[in-house]
Structure 1
Amino acid sequence: MWSSARTVAEGDTIIVWLTRDQLQPLVVTPGKDLNTKFGNFKHADLVGVPYGSKVASRGASGRGFIHVLRPTPELWTLALPHRTQILYLADIAFITAALNVRRGSRVVEAGTGSASFSHSIARTIGRAGRLFSFEFHEARFLKAREEFRRHGLLNGMVRLQHRNVCKDGFGVSGVDAVFLDLPAPWEAVGYAKEAMRKDRIARICCFSPCIEQVLRTVSALNDAGFTEITMHETLLRPIEVFQTPKLPSVGEAAAELKRAEVRREEKRQRQIAANRRAVEEAREGKEAKEREGKREEGGKRKVVDDEEGEGEEEPEHKRARVDVPSTPGVASTASSTRPRTTTSAPQKINVAKALAEVRGHTSYLTFASLVPVPAGYAGRTEAGSSSNGGSGGGDTPVVKVENAT
C-alpha cells in the first residue's frame, strides 16, 4: 500500500509520532515546515531519513524531537483525519476474524466513511483479493478516492463507488463477506444476500451503535434466511503495567529493625553525654566566677588562705561523674553486635492492574451466515411452507447476544 523503501522519499505519506496519544499523518513536501509544540521541522530534513528514526527539532535549543514512522493500518487508524465515526483496532480485528476474511477474499464494504476499516481489509486480502467499497456521501467519496489513490489502493485491489446501496444494490456477485456500516442496514440486507456467493458459506456483519437498529437488522436477517445470528459488543480493558521495588523478606526486615534500634540507642547515649558536658561546663564556669570574686574581695589575703578556700571544695568522690557510663548489652557492644549490611542492586518486580475507568460502548456487531441450499432442497422447503399455510413467518426473531471483552 504505502512505500516499502527503507528511507523517507519526497511525496511519501508518513506518520509523525508526537506522543503516545498524538499521531499526525504527513505528506513529505520539500519547502514546507511542520510546526509542533516540540519545535519546527523542515520537510526537506526528513528526506532520506530511515523510517523509525528520531529527528531533533531545528532552533537554538534543539531539545524537541519526533519519530518518523512508516504507515500501517494500525497507525493510520490512530492518525487519520476523521470524517465520520471510525472503527478501531479491537472491532476491526474481531470483524476480520468473524467474517473469515483472508488473502484472496472478495469483500463488500457499505459505508466507506474515514476508510479506517478499508485499509485494514485491503492489507488482509492482498493483491489477489477485491474490496468493493461504497459511499453515499459525495464529499466523503471524493476524499476517500484521493486517499486511496495516494496510498496506492486503486490498482485493482479496491473498487470505490459513489452509490446508494439501500436503493440501487451493490452490482456485484460472488462475494465472501459483507460489512454494512449504514444508518439503516436492514434496508440493504436483501441486496447483500444477492451479492453473496451461494456455493459455500458467506458471512455478513452489521455495525450499529443503537440496540433499536440491531432489532430491526435481526428481523431482516431472519426474513432473508440467514442463520447463526449473533450480536457482540467489544469492550477494551486496558492494563496498566508498572514497576515496584521488591518487598524485603522477614529476615531482612528484622535485621533492619535491629539496626534501627542500635542507631536510636547510640543517638540517646550521645545526647546524654552532650547534656552532661554542658552541665559540667556550666558548673566549672560558675566556680571560676566565684573564685574570681573571692580574689577581688580578699586581695590582701595570703596565698595559703586561697589554697585553704580551694580545699573546701566538694571532694572528688562526691562530684558528679563526667564519664559516660557504659550501658550493659547496648552501648558497649553496639559496634560488635551491629549486623553486617550487604550492598546489592535494588530489585524491582512488574505489577499489572486494570484501569478503573475505561472507554465504554462504541457499537454493536451483528453477525449472520448465509448457508448454501442444496439443489432440490429449496423446492421441498417451499412446498412444505405452502402446505403449512405460511405459519411461522411472523415469529419473533431470536438473536444470541454475547459480550466480548
Structure 2
Amino acid sequence: MVPGDSSERLSLQCRIREGDLVIVYERHDNMKAIKVTGGSVLQNRFGVFKHSDWIGKPFGSKVFSNKNGFVYLLAPTPELWTLVLSHRTQILYIADISFIVMYLEIVPGCFVLESGTGSGSLTTSLARAVAPMGHVYTFDFHEQRAVSAREDFEKTGINSLVTVGVRDIQGEGFPNEYSGQADAVFLDLPQPWLAIPSAGKMLKPDGILCSFSPCIEQVQRSCESLMVKFTDIRTFEILLRTYEVKEARAEIGEGDEGFSFRSPPRKKRQHSTEKGNEVEASCATTIVARPCSEARGHTGYLTFARLKCLS
C-alpha cells in the first residue's frame, strides 16, 4: 500500500482513529460501513454504541453497547467493502474478482485499465493488487456514477492508486495517451466487441484482456473480435457453492456410523427427574455442514485473451 495512507494502516491492523472508515459487523449477512466521528453514536437492535469508545481500539475489536450487546469493528478490506458498498450497478463478487486478478496476472506495479467503473467493487481489489507503485485508470460513461466512485475510493483510502474518468469507451475507445502502456485491460460493457480494438492498442505486447458478459451471445461476438489480434482466448463461468457450518442435534442410536460432512457426535448429560441421578442423553450434538439454501448462481462469463506478439 502507499506509505502513510489509510490502506497501509488498515493492512497493518493499526488502531482506529477518528475519521476512519470501519465495517460494523453484526452477523455475516448484516454489516455496514461507518465513518468514526467522536460525538456520534450507532443505534441498532443491540443498543447504543458511542463512536468515542471505538477510538484507540484495534481493528477486529468486540465493542459493547449500553445494553451490553456487542458488534465487531472490522477493517474495510476489499472483500468486506464488496459486501457493504452502495449498488449503483450490478457488481462483481469475490469468486469472480479473485479469478480475474489471478488470470490477468496483476501484481504490484501493474498498469491496469478498466471500463466501466460501476459501483467500484472490482476496482477496489485491483487497486490493492497493483499497490504500492502501480495504478488503475477506470472509466464510466455516467458522470454521477464516476463522482460517487471517487468519493468511495477516498473513503477506503485507495484514491492515490485509482484515477476515475468519464468516457464512453464503447464509442470513443481508451485515451490515446495510454497506448502501449497497459499490462491488463478489463471490460464490463454491454457491447465489449466495440472496445476490443482500442483495448488492443492500449496493451503492452503479451498483455491480457478480460471481458465480463452476462450473456453467451455477447461472449460469441467478443471472441469474433478477439480473433483478429489476440490469442489464447478462453471463457470461464465461475459457480460458487457455500456451506454453512453449525451445531445441530441428532438422535444417536446403536449401529449409527456417523453423518456425512459431520464430526463425531458429542454426547451431553441430562438430569433424570425420576431417579434424581445423571444419565447419558440419547440426543447428542454434532457439527453439521450443509449447502446454503440461497446459493449464488450464474453471474456472468469471463473471457480472457492475450495480445499477440508481433515478430
TM value normalised by structure 2: 0.81
Query: Is it true that 1:9 corresponds to 2:14 in the alignment?
Result: no
**Whose Rg is larger?**
1
Q: 2:291 aligns with which of 351, 354, 377?
A: 354
Q: 1:363 aligns with which of 283, 291, 300?
A: 300
Shift of 1:178: 0.7
Answer whether contact 2:76 2:156 (CA < 8 A) is retained: no
What code does the residue aligned with 1:161 have? Answer: G
Q: Distance in 1 between matches of 2:39 and 2:280?
A: 57
Q: 2:148 aligns with which of 138, 143, 150?
A: 143
What code does the residue aligned with 2:193 have? Answer: W
Between the aligned residues of both structures, percent identity stands at: 43
Shift of 1:249: 6.5
Shift of 1:138: 0.4
Shift of 1:349: 5.6
- Give deviations 1:251-290, integer Å, cap 9, x for gaps: 9xxxxxxxxxxxxxxxxxxxxxxxxxxxxxxxxxxxxxxx
Shift of 1:150: 3.2
Shift of 1:97: 1.1
Match of 1:217 in 2: 222
Query: Is it true that 1:238 corresponds to 2:242 in the alignment?
Result: yes
Residues 352 and 19 of structure 1: CA distance in aligned 2, closer, same or farther (over 3 Å): closer
Residues 151 and 351 of structure 1: CA distance in aligned 2, closer, same or farther (over 3 Å): closer
What code does the residue aligned with 2:310 have? Answer: V
What code does the residue aligned with 2:302 have? Answer: L
What code does the residue aligned with 1:99 have? Answer: L
Q: What does residue range 338-353 of structure 1 map to in structure 2 within 5 Å?
A: 350-353=287-290
Shift of 1:68: 0.8
Answer whether contact 1:246 1:349 (CA < 8 A) is retained: no
SS at match of 1:197: strand
Where does the alignment leave 5 or more consecutive residues of structure 1 unmatched? 252-340, 375-405
Q: 2:184 aligns with which of 170, 177, 183?
A: 177
- Give deviations 1:266-315, integer Å, cap 9, x for gaps: xxxxxxxxxxxxxxxxxxxxxxxxxxxxxxxxxxxxxxxxxxxxxxxxxx
What code does the residue aligned with 1:158 have? Answer: V
Q: 1:187 aligns with which of 172, 191, 194?
A: 194
Q: Distance in 2 between matches of 1:34 and 1:108?
A: 38
Shift of 1:33: 2.3
Q: Which has the higher helix share?
A: 1
Residues 82 and 130 of structure 1: CA distance in aligned 2, closer, same or farther (over 3 Å): same
Q: Distance in 1 between matches of 2:255 and 2:93?
A: 48
Q: Distance in 2 between matches of 1:184 and 1:231?
A: 16
TM value normalised by structure 1: 0.63
Q: What does residue range 26-45 of structure 1 map to in structure 2 within 5 Å?
A: 26-45=34-53
Shift of 1:91: 0.3
Q: Distance in 1 between matches of 2:284 and 2:42?
A: 43
Shift of 1:355: 4.1
Runs of at least 4 residues of structure 1 off by over 6 A? 341-344
Q: Distance in 2 between matches of 1:167 and 1:43?
A: 47
Larger RCO (alpha carbons 8 Å, 6+ apart):
1
Coordinate RMSD, CA, aligned: 2.4
Match of 1:262 in 2: none
Q: What does residue range 111-126 of structure 1 map to in structure 2 within 5 Å?
A: 111-126=116-131
Query: Is it true that 1:109 corresponds to 2:114 in the alignment?
Result: yes
Q: Distance in 1 between matches of 2:22 and 2:47?
A: 18
Shift of 1:45: 2.4
Query: Relative to structure 2, which stretch is displaced further, 142-151 or 22-31?
Result: 142-151
Shift of 1:134: 0.9
Answer whether contact 2:117 2:140 (CA < 8 A) is retained: yes
Residues 355 and 46 of structure 1: CA distance in aligned 2, closer, same or farther (over 3 Å): closer
What code does the residue aligned with 1:240 have? Answer: E
- Give deviations 1:206-249, integer Å, cap 9, x for gaps: 11112222122122212x32122221111111123345679676
Match of 1:159 in 2: 163
Shift of 1:250: 5.5
Answer whether contact 2:241 2:291 (CA < 8 A) is retained: yes
SS at match of 2:196: helix
Q: Which has the higher strand share?
A: 2
Q: Distance in 2 between matches of 1:350 and 1:38?
A: 28
Match of 2:30 in 1: 22
- Give deviations 1:313-354, integer Å, cap 9, x for gaps: xxxxxxxxxxxxxxxxxxxxxxxxxxxx9989x986644343
Answer whether contact 1:242 1:352 (CA < 8 A) is retained: yes
What code does the residue aligned with 1:134 have? Answer: F
SS at match of 2:23: strand
What code does the residue aligned with 1:181 have? Answer: D
Q: Distance in 1 between matches of 2:299 and 2:210?
A: 15
Q: How many corresponding residue pairs?
A: 277
